[in-house]
């Protein structure tokens, strides 16, 4: 039970937007699609949505080709937000929900519930252009979820929100997760990914360069980082003599070092005790996703070739 | 074990033969096409009809239609007023002229003037409203009569004198400016004839011989094309008038509604609503929902216009009665012609709109923002314009030149030019039928091309595609 993307390719003219990309999104999971601007995230999303068709490769949902999934199973929040600016909130959402396959009656019930939850009931008769940006975002979010799709694909759902609205949207987001929706989203805020996502893929220049569960990814990219603080020795110069250990930072509060992954961090404790050190702090730190992102993408990233399709 | 190692090297680059379908095509069975088109067109229709600009233009159209339908009657009304009777007072100072005494002379003038006048179309009508009313007066009244002329109480005073040389002198008194005086030429002609009669009687010819001399030759005109012989200049002008109205209407509506489609598409693209729409509905549904919705809004406006026009025409008879213009010589047959033309107008409007709007939609899909639409549709506007202009020129020639006939079968120009041909001359049903078939075929071809461009265009935000790229899109 999963969304399986199998070796898809997509080119626009000479520009290859997605190269041989494979990934698997478990049903009901929160999946992070990461990558720098122009890496091919949006194109990948559009292919999952069957707006574009891959030049080669295959995308399936629970074993069924994505082309055969009823459209109402898919909800899409595009990166560039847009609604009919002259249309009234209520009419707009009813129109989109009906277009997505809901009956008018059902659409109204859903609409009432969600407008309440988002506290924008007072704005239901207003034109979109008269709403604040935060409220426009909420309406946009509603346009994505109102027809109760099972797969949500959201391009940068939290960008440009003030902290209060970000929390309202994040709650709704997590609510959809609780309801068992499969959510694929892209973001540049990697701390959010660490907080919410189970699995991620990092795309660079159309290729998946990192993928797996957040925990695995962090582990695999550990270079085990150890932070050490000895009360009676602020320099801990003997660390430099250890094989497979490289000190990266000497700070007032701790010393940070990287260990070869085949070494057991206990070696450090043993050494410290042997040097009669009094251990104030011993910490095994996993690298943050930001570190991994910068390391993996930054290594490969070349000056961006202009993308023809955003 | 890093996940990175699981990735195969990307040697398998997308090969060109996989390019078959770039964007989801129209044959999408997952979403209910009819239902979606219905939803989209309802939104488009409502959105359009409640727009302030739409309401204002509709009201303007209705007012113009009402006024326009009254124009012929109003012209007739003023023409009738200015054509009111001319009172001519005859003062015969010349004794017997051409054997006619005072009374006979007056009758002669009356018959000649009213019988020979331009009002001959009214010959069947009663003579009570003849243009010229003849009176006689005596020599001593000349002074006061001249004053009457100056005061405008009398239009014409004609004094006949006979000098020693035996020839009759005519003196014509009028207050009218020489250029505007249409009576002068007529009276002059009759006076000339009278003079000839007078002279010939002096030469010893009998009245009958003189009459024979003056009889016009037997001159027969044969019109080889049926239905044309009866056309008076007035009918032709009336047809041209209707043709111009029809051409203007078609051009205006097709262009205006076509622009609505183009800017609507560009607006959806520019505001990025398109991104959600295209997830919910196929490009095919979006394209046709928009075209039909806006077309229906346009048709509503056209129907308002046409119904008002019909009501206006229907009111003309009572109106002209009320104005007491006495429709002598006025032909109401144009009302019937108008009804036939209106049906054709409606057909050509719908077909013309479909033809142009699909292309307008494709052009709208190619631009990035709404303000670029005007430039993008420029070439298409120019094509439309050519037909518009040609329609005016061709229509004014009346008979139907060959180039006009040929051009009227070019689908982009058919709605305007064929309408003009029908209005100004006789066009066989076959020709109309053929033109409609050509139009329908072109609509099918154009909508096929357009939907492909539209499908690619709506999500393309990069540089504008060149002509070569467009051809490539079509080939795919």
Helices of type H across A15-153? 41-48, 89-99, 104-117, 133-145
Mean pLDDT of B285-303: 90
A146 at interface of B, judged by CB pairs closer than 8 A = no
Beta-carbon separation of B40 and A99 below 8 A: yes
Cα A102–Cα A105–Cα A107 angle in degrees, nearest 5: 45
pLDDT at B276 over 60: yes
Chain A residues with CB under 8 Å of B18 CB are 9, 54-56
Q: Is residue A194 part of a domain?
A: yes
Q: Are residues A62 and A116 in the same domain?
A: yes
Q: Provide the CA B276 distance to its chain's centre, in angstroms.
A: 44
In terms of average pLDDT, the best of A233-237, B315-319, B351-355 is B351-355
Token couple for B473 = 């899109």
Predicted local distance difference test score (pLDDT) of residue B123 = 39
Predicted local distance difference test score (pLDDT) of residue B328 = 46
B220-238 confidence digits (pLDDT tens): 766 555 444 444 555 566 6
Q: Are residues A229 and A94 in the same domain?
A: no
Q: What is the mean pLDDT of chain A?
A: 82
Among the listed ranges A150-159, B271-280, B323-332, B419-428, which one has the minimum average pLDDT value? B323-332
Compute and round to an integer the Cα radius of gyration of chain B: 35
Between the CA atoms of A216, A220, A221 and A222, what dihedral angle is there, to the nearest 10 degrees?
A: 100
Residue B171 neighbours by CB under 8 Å, 6+ apart: B158, B159, B160, B161
Predicted local distance difference test score (pLDDT) of residue A99 = 86
B399 DSSP 8-state letter: S
Predicted local distance difference test score (pLDDT) of residue B222 = 65
Interface test with A, best of B45, B263, B273, B290 (most A CBs within 10 A): B273
Q: Is residue A8 part of a domain?
A: yes
CA dist list (Å): A40 to A208, A253, B275, B326, B344: 10, 41, 16, 80, 53
Least CB–CB distance from A82: residue in B15, B39, B271:
B271
pLDDT at B11 over 60: no
Q: SS3 helix, strand, coil % of chain A, rounded to 5?
A: 35, 30, 35
A20 at interface of B, judged by CB pairs closer than 8 A = yes
Q: Is residue A309 part of a domain?
A: no
Least CB–CB distance from B4: residue in A74, A99, A210:
A210
Beta-carbon separation of A74 and B463 below 8 A: no
Residue A63's domain spans which residues?
2-218
A148 at interface of B, judged by CB pairs closer than 8 A = no
pLDDT at B293 over 90: yes
Q: Are residues A124 and A139 in the same domain?
A: yes
pLDDT at B471 over 90: no
Predicted local distance difference test score (pLDDT) of residue B440 = 92
Predicted local distance difference test score (pLDDT) of residue A247 = 85
Q: Residue ranges of the domains in chain B?
A: 30-75+232-475, 85-116+129-214
Q: Are residues A53 and A36 in the same domain?
A: yes
Q: Taking CB atoms and an 8 Å cut-off, how many pairs form between chains A and B?
A: 122
Q: Is residue A291 part of a domain?
A: no
What is B85-116+129-214's CATH number? 3.40.190
**At B21, is the pLDDT very low, low, confident or very high (cuts 50, 70, 90)?**
very low
Beta-carbon separation of B7 and A22 below 8 A: yes
Predicted local distance difference test score (pLDDT) of residue B132 = 75
User: Helix or strand or coil: residue A213?
Assistant: strand
Token couple for A65 = 């080709």
pLDDT at A60 over 80: yes
Three-state secondary structure along A109-139? HHHHHHHHHCCCHHHCCCEHHHCCHHHHHHH
Beta-carbon separation of A208 and B272 below 8 A: no
Q: Are residues A54 and A203 in the same domain?
A: yes
Q: How far apart are CA B164 and CA B233, in angstroms?
A: 47
Q: What is the chain B residue with the closest CA to A147?
A: B280
Q: Is residue A300 part of a domain?
A: no
A11 at interface of B, judged by CB pairs closer than 8 A = yes
Among the listed ranges B28-42, B74-88, B156-170, B224-238, which one has the minimum average pLDDT value? B224-238
Q: Are residues A145 and A261 in the same domain?
A: no
A34 at interface of B, judged by CB pairs closer than 8 A = no
Predicted local distance difference test score (pLDDT) of residue B335 = 58
Chain B residues with CB under 8 Å of A67 CB are 24, 30
Q: What is the mean pLDDT of chain B?
A: 74
Q: How far apart are CA B104 and CA B319, in angstroms?
A: 41
A25-56 confidence digits (pLDDT tens): 888 888 888 888 778 888 888 888 888 888 88
Mean pLDDT of B187-207: 78
CA distance B269 to chain A (A): 9
User: Helix or strand or coil: residue A186?
Assistant: strand
**At B48, is the pLDDT very low, low, confident or very high (cuts 50, 70, 90)?**
confident
ipTM of the complex: 0.74
Chain B residues with CB under 8 Å of A68 CB are 30
Predicted local distance difference test score (pLDDT) of residue B296 = 92
Listed residue (B242, B243, B254, B239) closest to B381, CA to CA = B254
CA distance A147 to chain B (A): 10
Q: Are residues A161 and A259 in the same domain?
A: no
A176-234 confidence digits (pLDDT tens): 889 888 999 888 888 788 888 888 888 888 888 888 887 777 777 766 778 888 888 88
Is residue B4 classed exposed, middle or buried when 0-12, 13-18 and 19+ CB atoms within 10 A define those classes?
middle
Among the listed ranges A200-209, B81-90, B110-119, B390-399, which one has the minimum average pLDDT value? B110-119
A80 at interface of B, judged by CB pairs closer than 8 A = yes
Least CB–CB distance from B14: residue in A11, A68, A78:
A11
Among the listed ranges A136-150, A232-246, B137-151, which one has the minimum average pLDDT value? B137-151
Q: How far apart are CA A109 and CA A139, in angstroms?
A: 16
Which residue reads 């094309």 in tokens?
B225
Q: What is the chain A residue with the closest CA to B275?
A: A78
Predicted local distance difference test score (pLDDT) of residue B226 = 46
Which residue reads 């009665």 in tokens?
B321
Q: Which of A186, A218, A250 is the last residue of a domain?
A: A218
pLDDT at B17 over 80: no
The answer to whether the beta carbons of residues B200 and B210 sit under 8 Å apart is yes
Q: Which of A218, A241, A270 is the last residue of a domain?
A: A218
Q: Is residue A304 part of a domain?
A: no
Q: B48: how many CB neighbours lie within 10 A of its CB?
A: 20
Task: Please give the backbone phi and psi of residue B27, each rounded to the nearest 5 degrees, phi first.
Answer: -75, 65
Q: Are residues A62 and A196 in the same domain?
A: yes
**Looking at the 3D structure of chain A, how many domains does it have?**
2
Least CB–CB distance from B273: residue in A20, A55, A83:
A83
Q: Chain A 266-305, CB below 8 Å of chain B: which residues?
A: none
Predicted local distance difference test score (pLDDT) of residue A172 = 85
Q: Is residue A242 part of a domain?
A: yes
Read off the CATH number of the domain in which A111 is found: 3.40.50.300
B370 DSSP 8-state letter: G
Chain A residues with CB under 8 Å of B283 CB are none
A143 at interface of B, judged by CB pairs closer than 8 A = yes
CA distance A235 to chain B (A): 34
pLDDT at B3 over 50: no
Q: Are residues A230 and A200 in the same domain?
A: no
A231 at interface of B, judged by CB pairs closer than 8 A = no
Predicted local distance difference test score (pLDDT) of residue B437 = 92
Q: Are residues A150 and A178 in the same domain?
A: yes
Q: Which residue has the higher pLDDT, B6 or B394?
A: B394
**At B122, is the pLDDT very low, low, confident or very high (cuts 50, 70, 90)?**
very low
Which residues on adjacent β-strands are paired with residue A5? Answer: A23, A59
Q: Are residues A29 and A123 in the same domain?
A: yes
In terms of average pLDDT, the best of A161-175, A290-304, B310-324, B452-466 is A161-175
Is residue B220 classed exposed, middle or buried when 0-12, 13-18 and 19+ CB atoms within 10 A define those classes?
exposed
Q: Is residue A37 part of a domain?
A: yes
Q: Are residues A268 and A212 in the same domain?
A: no
pLDDT at B121 over 50: no
Q: What is the chain B residue with the closest CA to A83?
A: B273
pLDDT at B97 over 50: yes
């Amino acid at each position: 039970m999963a969304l399986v993307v199998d070796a898809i390719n997509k080119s626009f003219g000479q520009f290859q937007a997605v190269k041989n990309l494979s990934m698997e999104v478990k049903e009901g999971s929160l999946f992070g699609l990461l990558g720098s601007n122009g890496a091919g995230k949006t194109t990948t999303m559009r292919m999952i949505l069957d707006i574009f068709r891959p030049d080669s490769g295959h995308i399936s949902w629970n074993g069924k080709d994505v082309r055969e999934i009823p459209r109402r199973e898919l909800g899409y929040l595009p990166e560039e937000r847009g609604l009919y600016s002259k249309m009234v909130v209520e009419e707009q959402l009813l129109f989109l929900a009906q277009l997505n396959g809901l009956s008018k009656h059902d659409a109204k019930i859903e609409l009432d519930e969600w407008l309440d939850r988002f506290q924008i009931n007072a704005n239901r008769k207003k034109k979109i252009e008269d709403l604040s940006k935060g409220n426009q975002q909420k309406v946009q979010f509603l346009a994505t979820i109102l027809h109760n799709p099972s797969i949500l694909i959201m391009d940068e759902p939290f960008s440009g929100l003030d902290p209060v609205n970000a929390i309202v949207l994040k709650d709704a987001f997590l609510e959809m997760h609780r309801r068992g929706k499969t959510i694929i989203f892209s973001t540049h805020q990697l701390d959010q990914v660490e907080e919410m996502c189970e699995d991620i893929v990092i795309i660079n220049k159309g290729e998946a360069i990192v993928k797996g569960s957040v925990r695995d990814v962090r582990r695999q990219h550990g270079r085990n980082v150890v932070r050490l603080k000895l009360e009676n020795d602020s320099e801990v110069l003997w660390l430099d003599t250890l094989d497979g250990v490289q000190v990266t930072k000497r700070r007032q509060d701790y010393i940070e070092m990287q260990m070869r992954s085949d070494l057991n961090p206990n070696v450090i404790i043993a050494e410290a005790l042997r040097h009669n050190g009094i251990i104030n702090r011993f910490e095994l730190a996993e690298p943050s996703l930001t570190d991994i992102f910068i390391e993996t993408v930054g290594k490969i990233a070349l000056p961006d070739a202009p993308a023809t399709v955003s | 074990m890093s996940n990175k190692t699981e990735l195969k090297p990307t040697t398998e680059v997308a090969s060109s033969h996989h390019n078959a379908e770039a964007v989801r095509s129209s044959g999408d069975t997952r979403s209910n096409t009819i239902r979606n088109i219905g939803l989209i067109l309802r939104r488009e229709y409502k959105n359009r009809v409640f727009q302030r600009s739409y309401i204002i233009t509709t009201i303007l159209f209705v007012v113009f239609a009402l006024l326009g339908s009254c124009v012929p009657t109003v012209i007739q009304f003023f023409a009738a007023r200015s054509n009111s009777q001319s009172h001519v007072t005859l003062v015969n100072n010349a004794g017997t002229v051409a054997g006619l005494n005072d009374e006979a002379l007056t009758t002669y003038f009356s018959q000649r003037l009213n019988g020979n006048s331009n009002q001959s179309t009214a010959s069947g009508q009663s003579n009570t409203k003849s243009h010229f009313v003849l009176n006689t007066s005596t020599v001593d009244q000349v002074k006061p009569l001249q004053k009457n002329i100056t005061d405008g109480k009398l239009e014409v005073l004609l004094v006949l004198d006979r000098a020693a040389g035996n020839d009759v002198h005519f003196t014509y008194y009028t207050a009218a400016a020489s250029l505007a005086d249409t009576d002068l030429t007529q009276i002059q002609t009759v006076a000339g004839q009278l003079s000839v009669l007078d002279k010939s009687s002096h030469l010893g010819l009998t009245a009958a011989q003189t009459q024979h001399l003056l009889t016009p030759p037997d001159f027969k005109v044969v019109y080889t094309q049926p239905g044309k012989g009866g056309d008076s200049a007035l009918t032709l002008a009336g047809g041209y008038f209707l043709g111009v109205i029809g051409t203007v209407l078609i051009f205006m509506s097709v262009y205006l509604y076509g622009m609505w489609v183009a800017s609507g598409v560009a607006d959806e693209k520019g505001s990025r609503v398109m991104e959600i729409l295209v997830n919910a509905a196929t490009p095919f549904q979006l394209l046709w929902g928009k075209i039909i919705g806006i077309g229906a809004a346009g048709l509503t406006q056209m129907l308002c216009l046409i119904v008002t026009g019909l009501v206006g025409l229907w009111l003309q008879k009572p109106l002209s009665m009320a104005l007491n213009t006495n429709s002598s010589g006025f032909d109401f047959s144009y009302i019937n012609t108008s009804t036939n033309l209106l049906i054709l107008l409606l057909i050509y409007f719908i077909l013309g709109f479909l033809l142009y709007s699909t292309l307008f939609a494709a052009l709208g899909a190619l631009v990035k923002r709404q303000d670029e639409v005007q430039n993008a549709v420029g070439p298409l506007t120019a094509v439309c314009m050519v037909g518009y202009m040609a329609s005016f020129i061709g229509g004014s020639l009346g008979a139907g030149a060959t180039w006009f006939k040929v051009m009227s079968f070019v689908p982009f120009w058919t709605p305007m030019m064929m309408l003009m041909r029908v209005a100004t001359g006789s066009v066989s049903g076959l020709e109309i039928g053929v033109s409609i078939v050509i139009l329908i075929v072109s609509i099918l071809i154009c909508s096929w091309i357009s939907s492909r461009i539209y499908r690619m265009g709506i999500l393309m935000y990069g540089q504008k595609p060149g002509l070569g790229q467009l051809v490539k899109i079509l080939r795919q």
